[in-house]
Structure 1
Amino acid sequence: MNAPVTMPGQPAGGDADGPDADLLLVDVDTHITEWADLWTARATPAFRDRVPRVELIDGKPEWVMDGHRLAAPHGFSAIRADGSKMSGNGFRDTWHEAITPGAYSVRERLAYMDREGIAAQIGYTNLLGFGGQKAMLVDPELRLVATRLLNDAMAEFQAESGNRIFPMIMMPWWDVTLCVAEAARGADMGLRGINMNSDPHVHGLPPLGDRYWDPLWEVCTDRHLPVNFHIGASDDSMTWFGTGQWPGFSNDERLAFGSTMMFVSNMRVLGNILMSRFLERWPALSIVSVESGAGWLPFMLEALEYQMAEAGLTAHEPIRDVFHRQIYGTVWFEQKTLSETVRQLGAGNVMVETDYPHPTCLYPGARAHLAAGLADLPVEDRRKVMGGTAQRIYALDIGAA
């Protein structure tokens, strides 16, 4: 068993009374571990044996869907049941009894949030892929049923939390008409944003900049639903390890490398979004780059400006103006250069997260870590980054911004 790990710059204990304790802290990327009967308890008899469920395979519990193996014994948590944090790749071999109940229990999650001084969290599930891409393993009817049941469960999770934990609506991204219906249905249930696959064109659909997707952007604009692109949310990034490592790395080294390189995948996503110009048709639409950090964003904007000018692509609205109006980065581990990144991007374009309870999460002491990185900014900028911007973007009624 690995020894508990404290991330650099973090205290060993809770942090509710730490730096800037009076500032609202909204954590815009956390994960909710799916419980064993999430789908089966809600499915009709016709689908109960086909939706995601837990079976014993070779004597170990494993998630399956319609005969397809989705995940080996795996609680999607690096926080142990005793509250300590494991390092490296070992979290992939844990099941529910070995992990913190805060990964899947509303009551325990709220207790953790109270200890850490976190007012609200945005949540993402794991099993179907961070963008729902694993739904493509099964036929269209079953994938829609599984997606809708997941959203039903997440709406109940949010309600049980007293509107402090806000899971994002998983999209049936393989059909824009289904997306529009599910976005509206999720909004009617009180959910506050959508979780979108960044690369539907891999499956023969038009790319997201095509007018085919305009009905989805319309409903998201009308219902004030931010569009979230989480790293690892497409077929191009399906594994924890990612791709591109040189041979000979250990699994722990592959995890560290892959976790870093996945940020680059969201540089690709945002670059395509800005280059496609579709946001200029939807100026009230909000785009969030989730779990991808922000230090690369000033570089990307400057590089795009230069390369587009060199290519003679100057007839549109400046991409930096589009970015400042509509795109948001999320940070957690960044500390040494965070204040300068915020100055370059603007405090209204950066939000904070913890990635709880995944391997690289800020745990414990998230508030102290984040506050240290923002310490030399004016208090109004710190207020925006710590929670004010998230409160506005996700329409959260949780106290003063």
Structure 2
Amino acid sequence: MTYAGTRRIIDVDSHLIELENFLLDTASADEKAKIPSMLDQKPVIQKRERLELGREQFLARQGDAALTAEYEAQILDNTKVGWGRLGAFDPVERARAIDLFGYEVQLVLATFTFHQFYHDPDAAVREAGARALNRAMGNFCKDDRRMRAVGYVPLGFGPDKAIEMIEQGLADGCYTFAVDTNEGNDAGRSFTHPDFDPVWAKFVEHRIPVVTHVAINGHYDPVSPSFKNNGRVFHEIGDDAPAGEIGVMTIANSVQLFLGAMIYDGVFERHPALRVISMEHGCLWLPGWLKMIDFTANVFKRLRPFAELPSVTAKRHIKVAPFAGEPVGWVIEQVGPGMLVYASDYPHPEGSGDPIGKFEETMTDCDQATLDAFYFDNMAEVMNLARA
């Protein structure tokens, strides 16, 4: 019996825990000359000894059936070092991990390598890194149709280059792409500007969803640095999670702004088949946000009439992946069964050692149709997958 059991599951958010050569293995000579070392990047710190331990454990498993079976039996143990979890950086092992989980589809994103280039002030470095990342992600997922590589397209380079990078990334094996939730340059165009309509049309043309993910936000920081000067220790969870309690509390701020702008600026109206997935922003914000976008539209109704309530638009175009442990059942009661989608966050520890169990603890009042929608049907509609 797989972890999914009889459930049909599309896992919308999983990750690699990359080795230090992940980008370089598929990078061109020019890209290699530009891209900094994964081990030297600062935004998301990793410990070299943990990487080496994970590599040693992987090599020890090769040809050792008993040890492999032990790791397979412990696949849900999220206390293991990230690199030590089954399939963290090897595509063959990852396929076996999906066998054990029983997921029908798993979207896969990078972890550390994204930060090798994302924060670099040199645009040439950022472009080289994004191109290498898309190629590396496509290469990792190419041999198993269940794995769908999520690359990255830096919209800040402008719509023409974004379109070119989408086409190249698809050719390199990506399924779809994450985008920044806002333009980091205050003088730049909003990504909801009509100039970017050809980019959103490209997503629609290829029938792929736009991905938004925590930390891919144009370096937007909702928390003033002064809050860190608070006379006590400023706690950090680590990895790509925001720093401190108020950082986590405001984790969804950037995506709320982005999605609101997509509605108010008419992007969804102009592209009725466009779909967006929110990953690792949680879901507790969603009920209040839906009320707020309707309230705001009502405030401006004399200046700008809407053909439908913004919340209706949002429910048609947006899917949201909750954190394990959030009151998913309560959120579904507030927003309906069509917006939330399952995400394991494997092999990140935030996904918990039992995401299904944690979700279903709060879904005791959900009927089977609602459970099916959460696990499979909502994303199947986005991905144009048949249920039968």
TM-score over 0.5 for the pair: yes
Q: Residue 197 of structure 1: CA displacement?
A: 0.6
Please state whether the residue corresponding to 1:304 is helix, strand or coil: helix
Shift of 1:115: 2.9
**C-alpha contact (below 8 Å) 2:137/2:173 kept by paired residues:** no
Distance 1:247 1:209 in 2: 40
Deviations 1:260-315 (A, max 9, x none): 32123322332232222221111110011111122321211112212331233551
Shift, 1:179, TM fit: 0.9
Instruction: Judging by fraction of residues, say which structure has more strand.
Output: 1
Matches of 1:239 and 1:47, distance apart in 2: 33
Q: How many residue pairs are counted as aligned between the two chains?
A: 358
> Is contact 1:168–1:191 with CA below 8 Å preserved after alignment?
yes
Give percent identity, aligned residues only. Answer: 17
Q: Per-residue deviation at 1:180?
A: 0.6
The 3 A distance-change label for structure 1 pair 240 and 131 is: farther
Residues 195 and 230, structure 1, Cα contact 8 Å, conserved in 2: yes
Distance 1:53 1:394, change over 3 A: farther
| Worse overlay, 349-358 or 248-257 | 248-257
What TM-score results when the alignment is normalised by the length of structure 1?
0.78
3-state secondary structure, aligned to 2:251: helix
Deviation, 1:396, is 5.1
Give the superposition deviation at 1:145: 2.4
Correspondence for 1:202 among 164, 185, 189: 185
2:63 paired residue number: none
**Residue-by-residue CA offset, 1:208-227 (whole Å, 9 max, x unaligned):** 11011111011111111211
Classify 1:122/1:234 alpha carbon distance in 2 versus 1 (closer, same or farther; 3 Å): same
Asked if residue 289 in structure 1 is aligned to residue 271 in structure 2, the reply is no
| Higher percent of residues as helix | 2
Query: Partners in 2 of 1:239 and 1:74 — Cα distance?
Result: 28
Give the AA of the match of 2:291. Answer: E
The Cα shift of 1:325 comes to: 1.5
Q: Does residue 2 of structure 2 align to residue 16 of structure 1?
A: yes
- Which residue does the alignment assign to 1:354? 344
Alignment match, 1:41: 25
* Conservation of the 8 A alpha-carbon contact between 1:354 and 1:366: yes
- In structure 1, the partner of 2:148 is 166
Deviation sequence 1:228-263 (CA, Å, 0-9, x none): 111221233479999845441343475454333212
Q: How does 1:216-227 map to 2 (within 5 A)?
A: 216-227=199-210
Aligned match of 2:232 = 248
Given the alignment of the two structures, is residue 25 of structure 1 paired with residue 15 of structure 2, yes or no?
A: no
Q: Is the 8 A contact 1:332 1:362 kept in 2?
A: no
Matched, 1:147 2:130: yes
User: Structure 1, unaligned stretches of length 5 or more?
Assistant: 1-14, 55-61
CA distance in 2, matches of 1:152, 1:255: 34
Among 325, 343, 356, the residue aligned to 2:333: 343
The Cα offsets for residues 12-59 of structure 1, whole Å up to 9 and x where unpaired, read as xxx8356xx3221121112212322222222333443332435xxxxx
CA contact (8 A) 1:242 1:258 kept: no
Cα distance in structure 1, aligned partners of 2:321 and 2:342? 5
1:118 is aligned to 2:107: no
Q: Structure 2: which 5+ residue stretches go unaligned? A: 58-70, 238-242
TM normalised by structure 2 equals: 0.80
Measure how far apart 1:207 and its partner are: 0.3
How many angstroms does 1:190 deviate by?
Answer: 4.6
Cα deviation 1:101-138 (Å, max 9, x = unaligned): 5321223333333333333211221335589742x432
Query: What secondary structure does 1:205 align onto?
Result: coil
Distance 1:243 1:129, change over 3 A: farther
Match for residue 329 of structure 1?
A: 320
Alignment partner, residue 170 of structure 2 = 187
- Verify the 8 A CA contact 1:130 1:231 in the aligned structure 2: no
Which of residues 260, 267, 275 in structure 1 aligns to 2:264? 275
Once the two structures are superposed, what CA deviation does each residue of 1:135-188 show, in whole Å capped at 9, x if it has no partner? x43243x4322211211111111113x112212121032221111112123334
Q: Provide the aligned C-alpha RMSD in A.
A: 3.3
What's 2:78 paired with?
A: 85
What is the identity, as a one-letter code, of the residue corresponding to 1:115? L
What's the CA shift for 1:201? 5.0
